[in-house]
């Protein structure tokens, strides 16, 4: 047997016999459910000296490193107290860190294992290290480990190969991922899912869908990856079409699929389909965790059914901060500005702390109701009491609020004092306000910066042309239009969607959109 398959692996019979003779180890295996339980048992193992046994110490380490209720920092403390850790112990702590919020320590421990330990990494060690590289976005560093894998002759192990492919695909190194994918002759659904996901993240929807249609066997991850791909790239109707096909093939959607579809329904205003998803969630006892609750609230708010959103919010067993934020923003954007501000005050009194998104919601409420002083109050509160640095979105809200109120000099002052570069939204908002209030000088300044950011942006030319025309400067208005034509800049066409009998139709400038994906989707149905 090759050396890399060898590891410390006592038989289950010997472990059971050992544990049965030690009451504390028996309790650890059968009664321990929390870190409080573990610490009590650990203390007794130290007191009796049993902790020096590798079986005992590895069991304490495994619970604290891998259990859902564990503590990776405690696991690390346990690890440092173990003399001459065996392969199982090294693998346990490396894997624990690779799945924690600090995956970089998995790599540090792997290097320590290579350089200081007599025990060397073996087959089951490497997937955890590749996972750490993936979560850190360090695929280029992971190529060095790939080279070691090739030298050891492990590159054709399915588990190792899949974790390498997933690393490359997740981090956008699609050439390397595709090479691994094409070299594998086996129809491995994990590899196909990783490749589809990687292409989707990079925006290559065509190739992602082509691979999906070629798959001989698809699992729920395959369907979720493809639906998420459509949603991530704004292909809302395609996502709903694919979900319908998924239902026809009797594939049970995961909660991640449902969240993606709820997102698509919200963007399209597809209330009937959104209702169907919510009823499906209730009928099938889908766990109403914070992510699902937030997605349902967000869908109803975007479909303008604030009453249903409120019912879901109030009845939700798990309301995370994202649920509060979604409800506040939903109220603000649907004409319930006072209720949004009241809910924000209720959030302040709860055991949760408002974050930057919470303040975007309440500033939006101020904007829609024209409450300039209230907006200034919340803007200062965010910085001074909660220590939140304004983002580009917070500045955008303030510029829009001040611009609508005609306080253009104050808006200009905020822009000049910003510690981040204004984006096209801010310049466009100021330019629009200048047009409404007739400030030609500030309008030119706004338009200049807007066009510097994106010379092909049509709104700057259109707003300036309309402003010149409104003030009687028709020649300058014509010059703006001519400039657009010479630079071949076209005004962005309007887009709308309508839901008829549960089916969503999209229209652009009076013509129905023909999706380039319909043929491929049709092939899945037949």
At the topology level, CATH places domain 395-510 in 1.25.40
Domain locations in the chain?
218-311, 319-389, 395-510
CATH architecture of 218-311: Alpha Horseshoe (1.25)
User: How many angstroms separate the CA atoms of 526 and 510, rounded?
Assistant: 31
For residue 323, CA distances in Å to 333, 334, 335, 471, 491 come to 15, 16, 19, 47, 37
Give, in degrees to the nearest 5, the angle at Cα 155 between 149 and 156. Answer: 155
Beta pairing partners, 31: none
- Give the sheet arrangement for strand 503-508, strand by strand: 495-500, 503-508, 511-512
Burial 92-127 (b: 16+ CB within 10 A, else e): bbbbbbbebeebebbbebbeebeeeeebebbbbbbb
Fold match between 218-311 and 395-510? yes
pLDDT recorded at residue 464:
55
Owner of token pair 């410390």: 8
Say if residues 157 and 124 touch (Cβ distance below 8 Å).
no
Other C-beta atoms closer than 10 Å to the C-beta of 201 total 19
Say if residues 194 and 169 touch (Cβ distance below 8 Å).
yes
153 Cβ contact partners less than 8 Å away, ≥ 6 residues apart: none
pLDDT recorded at residue 507:
44
118 Cβ contact partners less than 8 Å away, ≥ 6 residues apart: 84
For residue 73, CA distances in Å to 93, 98, 102, 133 come to 10, 13, 10, 20
What is the DSSP code string of 36-96? HHHHHHHHHHHHHTGGGSHHHHHHHHHHHHHSTT--HHHHHHHHHT-SS--HHHHHHHHHH
Q: Which two tokens stand for residue 270?
A: 């597809």
pLDDT recorded at residue 454:
60
Say if residues 58 and 25 touch (Cβ distance below 8 Å).
no
Other C-beta atoms closer than 10 Å to the C-beta of 362 total 30
Q: Which two tokens stand for residue 66?
A: 């891998």
pLDDT in tens, the chain (526 residues): 333 333 334 444 444 444 445 666 667 666 788 899 889 888 888 888 888 888 889 999 999 998 888 899 999 999 999 999 999 999 999 999 999 999 999 999 999 999 999 999 999 999 999 999 999 999 999 999 999 999 999 988 999 999 999 999 999 999 999 999 988 777 789 999 999 999 988 888 889 999 999 988 888 889 988 998 899 888 999 999 999 999 888 888 888 899 999 999 999 999 999 999 999 999 988 888 999 999 999 999 999 999 999 999 999 988 899 999 999 999 999 999 999 999 999 999 999 999 999 999 999 999 999 999 999 999 999 999 999 999 999 999 999 999 999 999 999 999 999 989 988 888 888 888 887 887 877 877 877 777 776 655 555 555 555 555 555 544 554 554 555 554 444 544 444 444 444 454 444 444 444 444 555 555 554 5
pLDDT recorded at residue 16:
44
Other C-beta atoms closer than 10 Å to the C-beta of 148 total 13
């Amino acid at each position: 047997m090759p050396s890399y398959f060898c590891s410390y692996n006592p038989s289950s019979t010997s472990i059971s016999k050992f544990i049965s003779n030690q009451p504390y180890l028996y309790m650890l295996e059968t009664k321990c459910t929390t870190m409080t339980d573990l610490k009590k048992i650990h203390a007794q193992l130290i007191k009796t000296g049993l902790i020096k046994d590798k079986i005992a110490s590895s069991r304490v380490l495994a619970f604290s490193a891998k259990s859902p209720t564990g503590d990776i920092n405690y696991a690390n403390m346990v690890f440092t107290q173990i003399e001459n850790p065996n392969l199982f112990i090294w693998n346990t702590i490396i894997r624990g860190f690779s799945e924690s919020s600090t995956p970089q320590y998995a790599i540090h421990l792997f290097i320590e294992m290579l350089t200081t330990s007599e025990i060397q990494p073996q087959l089951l060690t490497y997937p955890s290290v590749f996972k750490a590289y993936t979560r850190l976005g360090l695929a280029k560093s992971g190529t060095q480990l790939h080279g070691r894998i090739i030298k050891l002759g492990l590159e054709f192990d399915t588990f190792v190969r899949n974790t390498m492919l997933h690393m490359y695909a997740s981090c956008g190194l699609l050439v390397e991922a595709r090479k691994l994918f094409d070299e594998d002759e086996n129809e491995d659904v994990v590899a196909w899912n990783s490749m589809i996901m990687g292409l989707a993240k990079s925006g290559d929807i065509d190739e992602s869908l082509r691979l999906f249609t070629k798959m001989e066997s698809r699992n729920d991850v395959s369907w979720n990856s493809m639906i998420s791909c459509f949603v991530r790239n704004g292909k809302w109707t395609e996502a709903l079409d694919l979900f319908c096909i998924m239902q026809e093939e009797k594939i049970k959607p995961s909660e991640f699929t449902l969240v993606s579809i709820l997102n698509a329904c919200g963007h399209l205003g597809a209330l009937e389909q959104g209702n169907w998803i919510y009823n499906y969630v209730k009928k099938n006892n889908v766990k109403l965790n914070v992510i699902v609750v937030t997605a349902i609230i967000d869908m109803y708010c975007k479909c303008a059914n604030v009453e249903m959103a409120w019912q879901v919010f109030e009845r939700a067993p798990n309301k995370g901060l994202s649920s509060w934020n979604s409800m506040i923003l939903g109220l603000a954007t649907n004409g319930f500005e006072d209720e949004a501000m009241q809910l924000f005050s209720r959030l302040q009194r709860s055991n949760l702390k408002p974050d930057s998104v919470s303040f975007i919601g309440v500033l939006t409420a101020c904007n829609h109701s024209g409450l300039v002083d209230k907006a200034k109050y919340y803007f200062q509160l965010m910085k001074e009491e909660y220590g939140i640095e304004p983002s580009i979105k917070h500045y955008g809200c303030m510029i829009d609020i001040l611009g609508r109120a005609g306080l253009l000099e104050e808006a200009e002052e905020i822009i000049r004092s910003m510690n981040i570069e204004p984006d096209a939204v801010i310049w466009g908002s100021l330019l629009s306000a200048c047009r409404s209030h007739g400030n030609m000088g500030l309008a030119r300044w706004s338009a200049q910066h807007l066009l510097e950011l994106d010379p092909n942006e049509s709104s700057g030319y259109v707003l300036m042309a309309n402003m010149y025309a409104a003030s009687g400067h028709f020649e300058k208005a014509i010059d703006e239009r001519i400039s657009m034509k010479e630079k071949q800049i076209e005004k962005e066409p309007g887009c709308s969607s309508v839901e008829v009998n549960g089916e969503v139709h999209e229209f652009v400038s009076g013509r129905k959109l023909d999706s380039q994906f319909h043929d491929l989707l049709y092939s899945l149905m037949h």
